[in-house]
């Protein structure tokens, strides 16, 4: 057996003195034993509680024998698609197949099936008819009840039913997986494991319905979009572990899918214990010949300091998956991991990131959240910071200072998405100064997402005035410190609520900035978000107001092209959009014009053909990985997808920074 790794074959089991495993974990990702990978966390935490676990990673789903290489487990199979939803992993927002998979050896695409959790569970059931199956991770967590599936463009049943599994462990999973293991180990039948927080089970016993909030039935949400929106709103308001009720979704009048309230947040001590487990911090050596697993290089020298996010953006599934209550590791725990990074032979002196879903959140939004939970119908930061919000960067700043003072550390970067509205709510500007002086790698990535208040309202984001004020302060500090550093904004096209007028307003805003964004995010409707519910139903589920939604692919292409109006390949789409809206004033040679006049060519418009897809894969048009990473982290699959906060800036290189910087300098 490769020393320290969990068993991956019978030889490993024999060397470990194991005739039979307690659990077999089937995963869509390659095996990477690092705390940024959920399979590693769940495997190690079970091991720490005395259970034996083996890994079957990326089995051949066309071969039933591939699922039996470790034999039948004593207690059950654990199944996850990996750190990403398999459909987002495979397809761009235009439903075109991606070329690479960062979670597979050598980045090879095609090592897992579409709808991986369902396929793996069905494969297991062909051989092991009665062995318990527990599913988790981002794919299972966000599909735990009836949901709209963008790729098939239909409402699908709970993944619990389509997979044939016995339980869903939703959310982050450390608490629930041990309780499940202990229940099964005590001799309980898996059908009787109905009492654990953070789980979903199925039953025909109608008595469970009596103690739950009853959602519209699956048949109702299938035929009525308003019923779907009402159902989602109830689910969204019951994601807090302190306030949430048990939920019930009925199928065919006699089958009930019951969602227990979410698991309680981890304490700081519990989070520290999770990260102190004996991870190898490497991919399995069987992948060496293929060049390893690319996703590891994105996060190998990044430090996760927190989880949860009270930002609660509507397009982000963190609320549905991790929850709004922030949990944080202690300084000592994070410093210990930093020292482990320093001791790695590949470490060059740079900590690429210290953060999580949001970098500077190191505590719950207010003291009430740890007593009665997060408010059901009020956001902490939108439309403006709540009066009860406790704004304080002192702890995070102290942590950064400690890490950058460690021997061997040259620089500590902050590349997690941080909330500029939270920062601007802090009257003490010490953190902003420290950030500019010590923790920016030439460019600082922020996420205003849009500039139209009409769109920002549907996103749950603050007014553009807040962003503009932040930009002014950032630039003022850079001038004072004599630094040439630039803000690179994340922008999103065709989010629900965005009309062509809003898209043109965004293009005019970009014109005033004096540069063209290198990347563009076209809204990607992934399960578990308010925005996806808007996309499917045309209703804001939190208010039941009607919302304009751009669903036509050509209109979406025009909205995206407007953000990069200077790119010649987008000319035809931009001109068509301007003419459609009667904005001929933006076509010409004046300084306020977006494009010069010329005839529309007859070649296929950008955004309709393969050329745009190649550009997207190359990074010129931002692919949906950032959006997916906002879905949060896996449960029986754990950590965040390497993308938005763990490696996005690192992967872009100095060339992109230079281009952006020169254009920004024109202001």
Handedness of CA 627, 306, 426, 657 (dihedral sign): negative
- Who contacts 73 (Cβ-Cβ below 8 Å, separation ≥6)? 20, 21, 22, 23, 24, 54, 131
What 3-state class would DSSP assign to 663?
helix
- CB contact burial 27-51 (16+ within 10 A = b; e otherwise): bbbbbbbbbbbbbbbbbbbbbeeeb
Does residue 635 sit in the same domain as residue 518? no
User: Among residues 507, 557, 541, 518, which one has the least CA distance to residue 663?
Assistant: 518
Q: With contact defined as beta carbons under 8 Å apart, do 563 and 451 qualify?
A: no
pLDDT of 646:
28
pTM as predicted = 0.89
Whether residue 491 is contained in a domain is answered as yes
Q: Phi and psi dihedrals of 465, rounded to 5? A: -60, -35
Rg of the chain on CA atoms, in Å: 24
pLDDT of 581:
97
Q: With contact defined as beta carbons under 8 Å apart, do 203 and 194 qualify?
A: yes
**Beta strand pairing status for 23-27 and 76-80?**
parallel
Residue spans of beta strands (DSSP E) within 433-520? 443-449, 486-493
Vertex 204: Cα angle to 203 and 206 (nearest 5)? 105
Instruction: Quote the number of domains for the chain.
Output: 2
Does residue 607 sit in the same domain as residue 575? yes
Does residue 490 sit in the same domain as residue 638? no
Q: Phi and psi dihedrals of 253, rounded to 5? A: 80, -15
Cis peptide before 144 (omega within 30 of 0): no
pLDDT of 600:
55
**DSSP per residue over 283-308, as a string?**
E-GGGGGGT--HHHHHHTTEEE-EE-
User: Among residues 5, 27, 112, 21, which one has the least CA distance to residue 70?
Assistant: 21
User: Among residues 398, 401, 350, which one has the least CA distance to residue 647?
Assistant: 350
In angstroms, the CA 321 to CA 132 distance is 23
Q: Phi and psi dihedrals of 232, rounded to 5? A: -60, -40
Does residue 635 sit in the same domain as residue 612? no
- Who contacts 302 (Cβ-Cβ below 8 Å, separation ≥6)? 36, 351, 352, 353, 354, 415, 646, 647
Q: Phi and psi dihedrals of 178, rounded to 5? A: -70, -40
Which residue ranges of the chain lie beneath pLDDT 50? 1-2, 604-667
Whether residue 534 is contained in a domain is answered as no
Cβ neighbour number for residue 13 with a 10 Å cutoff: 19
Handedness of CA 263, 264, 269, 272 (dihedral sign): positive
Does residue 619 sit in the same domain as residue 636? no
Whether residue 520 is contained in a domain is answered as yes
Whether residue 10 is contained in a domain is answered as yes
Q: Which two tokens stand for residue 314?
A: 């509507």
Does residue 561 sit in the same domain as residue 643? no
Domain that holds residue 465: 443-524+539-623
pLDDT of 602:
52
Whether residue 529 is contained in a domain is answered as no
Residue 85, class by beta-carbon neighbours within 10 Å (0-12 exposed, 13-18 middle, 19+ buried)? Answer: buried
171-209 tens-digit pLDDT = 999 999 999 999 999 999 999 999 999 999 999 999 999
Does residue 474 sit in the same domain as residue 520? yes
Q: With contact defined as beta carbons under 8 Å apart, do 303 and 275 qualify?
A: no
pLDDT of 608:
42
What 3-state class would DSSP assign to 576?
helix
pLDDT of 379:
94
- Who contacts 134 (Cβ-Cβ below 8 Å, separation ≥6)? 76, 77, 78, 79, 165, 166, 167, 168, 169, 177, 180, 636
32 forms bridges with which residues in the sheet? 283
Does residue 582 sit in the same domain as residue 449? yes
pLDDT of 352:
95
Q: How many CA atoms lie within 13 A of 299 on its CB side?
A: 30
User: Token match 């399979």: residue?
Assistant: 39
- CB contact burial 161-196 (16+ within 10 A = b; e otherwise): bebebbbbbbbbbbbbbbbbbbbbeeeeebeebbeb
Whether residue 201 is contained in a domain is answered as no
Does residue 564 sit in the same domain as residue 633? no
Does residue 57 sit in the same domain as residue 127? yes
User: Among residues 617, 8, 581, which one has the least CA distance to residue 285?
Assistant: 8
Does residue 544 sit in the same domain as residue 608? yes
In angstroms, the CA 56 to CA 73 distance is 12
In angstroms, the CA 309 to CA 121 distance is 31
Q: How many CA atoms lie within 13 A of 342 on its CB side?
A: 16
Whether residue 636 is contained in a domain is answered as yes
Whether residue 405 is contained in a domain is answered as no
Q: Which two tokens stand for residue 81?
A: 């698609």
Q: Residue 495 sits in a domain of what CATH number? A: 3.30.750.200
Does residue 20 sit in the same domain as residue 123? yes
């Amino acid at each position: 057996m490769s020393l320290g790794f969990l068993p991956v074959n019978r030889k490993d089991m024999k060397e470990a003195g194991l005739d039979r495993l307690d659990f077999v974990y089937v995963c869509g990702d390659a095996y990477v034993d690092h705390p940024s990978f959920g399979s590693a966390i769940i495997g190690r935490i079970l091991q720490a509680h005395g259970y034996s676990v083996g890994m079957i990673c990326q089995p051949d789903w066309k071969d039933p024998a591939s699922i039996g290489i470790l034999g039948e487990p004593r207690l059950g199979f654990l199944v996850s698609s990996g750190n990403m939803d398999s459909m987002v992993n495979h397809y761009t927002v235009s439903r075109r197949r991606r070329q690479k998979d960062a979670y597979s050896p050598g980045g090879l695409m095609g090592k897992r099936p579409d709808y991986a959790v369902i396929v793996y569970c069905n494969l297991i059931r062909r051989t092991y008819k009665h062995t318990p199956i527990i599913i988790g991770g981002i794919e299972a967590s966000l599909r735990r009840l009836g949901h709209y599936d963008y790729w098939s463009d239909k409402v699908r049943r709970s993944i619990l039913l389509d997979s044939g599994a016995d339980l869903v462990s939703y959310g982050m999973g450390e608490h629930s997986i041990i309780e499940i293991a202990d229940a099964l180990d005590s001799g309980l039948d898996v059908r009787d494991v109905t009492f654990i927080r953070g789980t979903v089970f199925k039953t025909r016993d109608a008595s469970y319905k009596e103690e739950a909030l009853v959602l519209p039935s699956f048949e109702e949400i299938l035929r009525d979009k308003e019923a779907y929106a009402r159902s989602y709103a109830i689910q969204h308001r019951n994601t807090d572990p302190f306030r949430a009720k048990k939920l019930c979704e009925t199928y065919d009048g006699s089958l009930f899918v019951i969602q227990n309230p979410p698991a309680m947040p981890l304490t700081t001590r519990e989070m520290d214990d999770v990260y102190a487990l004996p991870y190898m911090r490497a991919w399995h050596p069987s992948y060496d010949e293929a060049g390893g697993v690319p996703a590891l290089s994105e996060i190998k020298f990044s430090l996760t300091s927190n989880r949860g996010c009270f930002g609660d953006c509507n397009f982000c599934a963190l609320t549905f998956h991790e929850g709004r209550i922030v949990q944080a590791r202690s300084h000592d725990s994070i410093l210990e991991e930093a020292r482990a990074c320093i001791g790695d032979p590949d470490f060059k002196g740079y900590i690429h990131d210290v953060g999580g879903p949001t970098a500077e959140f190191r505590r719950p939004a207010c003291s009430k959240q740890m007593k009665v939970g997060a408010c059901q119908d009020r956001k902490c930061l939108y439309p403006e910071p709540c009066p009860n919000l406790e704004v304080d960067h002192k702890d995070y700043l102290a942590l950064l200072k400690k890490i950058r003072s460690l021997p061997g550390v040259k620089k500590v970067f902050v590349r997690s998405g941080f909330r500029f509205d939270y920062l601007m709510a802090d009257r003490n500007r010490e953190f902003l100064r420290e950030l500019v002086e010590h923790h920016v790698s030439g460019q600082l990535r922020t996420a205003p997402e849009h500039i139209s208040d009409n769109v920002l309202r549907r996103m749950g984001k603050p007014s553009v005035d807040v962003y503009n004020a932040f930009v002014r302060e950032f630039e003022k500090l850079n001038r004072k410190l004599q630094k040439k550093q630039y803000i690179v904004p994340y922008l999103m096209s065709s989010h629900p609520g965005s009309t062509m007028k809003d898209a043109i307003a965004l293009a005019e805003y970009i014109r005033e900035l004096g540069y063209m964004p290198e990347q563009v995010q076209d809204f990607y409707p992934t399960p578990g978000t308010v925005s996806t519910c808007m996309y499917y139903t045309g209703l804001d589920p939190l208010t039941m107001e009607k919302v304009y939604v751009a669903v036509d692919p050509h209109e979406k292409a025009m909205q995206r092209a407007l953000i990069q109006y200077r790119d010649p390949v987008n000319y035809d789409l931009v001109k068509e959009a301007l003419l459609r809206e009667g904005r001929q004033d933006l076509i010409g040679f004046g300084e306020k014009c977006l494009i010069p006049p010329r005839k529309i060519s007859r070649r296929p418009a950008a955004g309709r053909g393969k050329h745009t897809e190649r550009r997207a894969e190359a990074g010129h048009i931002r692919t949906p990985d950032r959006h997916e990473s906002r879905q949060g982290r896996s449960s029986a699959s754990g950590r965040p997808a390497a993308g938005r906060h763990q490696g996005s800036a690192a992967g872009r290189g100095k060339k992109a920074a230079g281009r952006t910087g020169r254009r920004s300098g024109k202001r």
